[in-house]
Chains A and B, each alone.
Chain A
């Protein structure tokens, strides 16, 4: 099953909760952990958010895991870099390889950074996984976040899905024709995949502009706020 963030955002125990609360919870806790800057607090925040996401919102642990793997890899790489290549102080581990050493300061910095990033990320994850994007944007709008920012996020959000879909389709097409059979053809296929993706994205943006214009778009996406909330049975 493909990881479908949007589906999860619409179908969890907290998706009907007032989005403002969620936004406030996420931002406050994030700010708190940033300001306090304490390893223990970071870990507590991370665990708390994990509990909120998996136990309260009842989002499956697997989905959550999938959601955090990519940022995990990125921050892990960054922090390993911090640990091995920066910092001064007492040497606590020597690799005997090009003089690369781990010092107490660098180790500290690495671990701290990692935990902070993760504490913040889990707050964002809580927001992203429990709240549909449309609602988040509505909130931001009423918080007087500049329009241009919201419109760009809206269009980008949509484009990312089309982009991923496109990527998926092209990859399948290439694989069907044995495009990744052998190293050389794999490189070749990958190269053409990316060029094609780039060209297609440009083309897409042009077409989107046409479609928006056709519906009398005047440079500003209007806000749809139905007054009566009808509930479908």
Chain B
């Protein structure tokens, strides 16, 4: 569905942000891209929808190679919606509803259809009733949700979210994750960048680990988080549950995990009930 082949990108000041990225995401997946600050996550995302043009390498959307003329860029951006890391970069209109309507109207949808989508999108992110508010009067978390609604209203095939949960309260995080899972069930492909390893294991089908502009690991959460080498290299840590089981194992309280730690609360719960039996 979305594929990147051997992407190199450097910024004008000479920073080599991406060094030969290979990346693939298939229809219906939820993929997480994890990596420390400055690893190149945001840069990669901007390469995906043609805002930045790679120095080398190609992007494929639905099998078509991305060309950088106006028409194919528009086509690409209809399919790929990006929610920016900082909502202030994205939200520009004087009212919430006008901002959310911006995308759909650019897709040349009618006013009625747009209105439907705006109210639906706002409802889904839990921001109904804020239609007429000025975005700069919203809190950080609320802005984030409006930013998500702005992309949601465009109904892209792939939704790319750059750290959607940073700055949200715990309930807000849960809601966003729940929303993303719902969207995924409805057939939307989702790509998320994040540092939050505890969450990644909850929702991701596949994890890519990026370090200094290179992908150093990809696989299921289980494959990634049982590979301590990757975790160390990427400046990550294990999910807390796995951390707990690792400690128990090191102190000889549990045996037989074979480097296969439970990652989520659910898995941990099952493991413990199994042991207690």
Let me know if B136 and A214 touch, CB within 8 A: no
Let me know if B105 and A207 touch, CB within 8 A: no
Please give the distance in Å from A169's CB to the nearest CB on chain B.
Answer: 11
Cα of A208 to Cα of B91 in the assembled complex, Å = 8
Cα of A44 to Cα of B154 in the assembled complex, Å = 52
A210/B46 contact (C-beta < 8 A), A132-B94, A133-B94, A232-B129 known: yes
Task: Say whether A222 faces chain B, with CB atoms less than 8 Å apart.
Answer: yes
Let me know if A222 and B105 touch, CB within 8 A: yes
Instruction: List chain B residues, Cβ under 8 A from A210.
Output: 46, 51, 84, 89
Let me know if A6 and B134 touch, CB within 8 A: yes
Chain B residues touching A, majority SS: helix
Cα of A175 to Cα of B133 in the assembled complex, Å = 31
Instruction: List chain B residues, Cβ under 8 A from A232.
Output: 128-129, 131
Instruction: List chain B residues, Cβ under 8 A from A157.
Output: 94
Let me know if A214 and B82 touch, CB within 8 A: yes
Chain A residues touching B, majority SS: helix
Residue from the list A211, A215, A225 in contact with B111, Cβ < 8 A: A225
Residue from the list B98, B101, B135, B137 in contact with A4, Cβ < 8 A: B137
Cα of A6 to Cα of B132 in the assembled complex, Å = 11
Residue of B nearest to A209 (CB): B51
Cα of A211 to Cα of B115 in the assembled complex, Å = 21
Task: Say whether A154 faces chain B, with CB atoms less than 8 Å apart.
Answer: yes
Let me know if B94 and A137 touch, CB within 8 A: yes
Residue of B nearest to A232 (CB): B129
Task: Say whether B106 faces chain A, with CB atoms less than 8 Å apart.
Answer: yes
Let me know if A211 and B89 touch, CB within 8 A: yes
A224/B134 contact (C-beta < 8 A), A214-B51, A214-B77, A215-B154 known: no
Task: Say whether A212 faces chain B, with CB atoms less than 8 Å apart.
Answer: yes
Let me know if B115 and A227 touch, CB within 8 A: yes
Interface mask (B255-266 → A, CB under 8 Å = 1, otherwise 0):
000000000000
Task: Say whether A161 faces chain B, with CB atoms less than 8 Å apart.
Answer: yes
Cα of A232 to Cα of B118 in the assembled complex, Å = 14
Instruction: List chain A residues, Cβ under 8 A from B95.
Output: 132, 134
Let me know if A214 and B49 touch, CB within 8 A: yes
Cα of A157 to Cα of B46 in the assembled complex, Å = 26
Q: Which of A183-225 contact B (CB under 8 A)?
A: 204, 207-208, 210-218, 221-225
Residue of A nearest to B154 (CB): A215
Chain B interface, number of residues (Cβ within 8 angstroms): 45
Residue from the list B92, B131, B134, B137 in contact with A211, Cβ < 8 A: B92
Please give the distance in Å from B34's CB to the nearest CB on chain A.
Answer: 22
Task: Say whether B240 faces chain A, with CB atoms less than 8 Å apart.
Answer: no
Residue from the list A7, A133, A215, A230 in contact with B102, Cβ < 8 A: A215
Q: Which of B114-151 contact A (CB under 8 A)?
A: 114-115, 118-119, 128-129, 131-137, 150-151
Task: Say whether B173 faces chain A, with CB atoms less than 8 Å apart.
Answer: no
A158/B105 contact (C-beta < 8 A), A214-B51, A224-B111 known: no
Let me know if B103 and A215 touch, CB within 8 A: yes
Instruction: List chain A residues, Cβ under 8 A from B94.
Output: 132-134, 137, 154, 157-158
Task: Say whether B64 faces chain A, with CB atoms less than 8 Å apart.
Answer: no
Instruction: List chain A residues, Cβ under 8 A from B107.
Output: 216
Instruction: List chain B residues, Cβ under 8 A from A146.
Output: none
Cα of A215 to Cα of B134 in the assembled complex, Å = 20
Let me know if A211 and B84 touch, CB within 8 A: yes
A221/B102 contact (C-beta < 8 A), A226-B111, A227-B115 known: yes
Given contacts A155-B92, A208-B89, 15 further A-B contacts (CB under 8 A): A137-B94, A157-B94, A161-B136, A162-B136, A211-B89, A213-B77, A214-B84, A215-B81, A215-B102, A215-B103, A216-B74, A217-B106, A224-B101, A226-B118, A227-B112
Q: Which residues of B contact A (CB under 8 A)?
A: 46, 49, 51, 73-74, 77-78, 81-82, 84, 86, 88-95, 97-98, 101-103, 105-107, 111-112, 114-115, 118-119, 128-129, 131-137, 150-151, 154
26 A–B contacts from the bound complex (CB under 8 Å): A4-B137, A7-B137, A10-B133, A132-B95, A134-B93, A154-B92, A155-B92, A158-B92, A204-B89, A210-B51, A210-B89, A213-B77, A215-B77, A215-B150, A215-B151, A216-B103, A217-B102, A217-B106, A218-B74, A221-B102, A222-B101, A224-B98, A224-B118, A226-B118, A227-B112, A232-B129
Smallest CB-CB A-B distances: 7 pairs: A222-B105, A224-B101, A216-B106, A207-B89, A226-B115, A161-B136, A134-B94
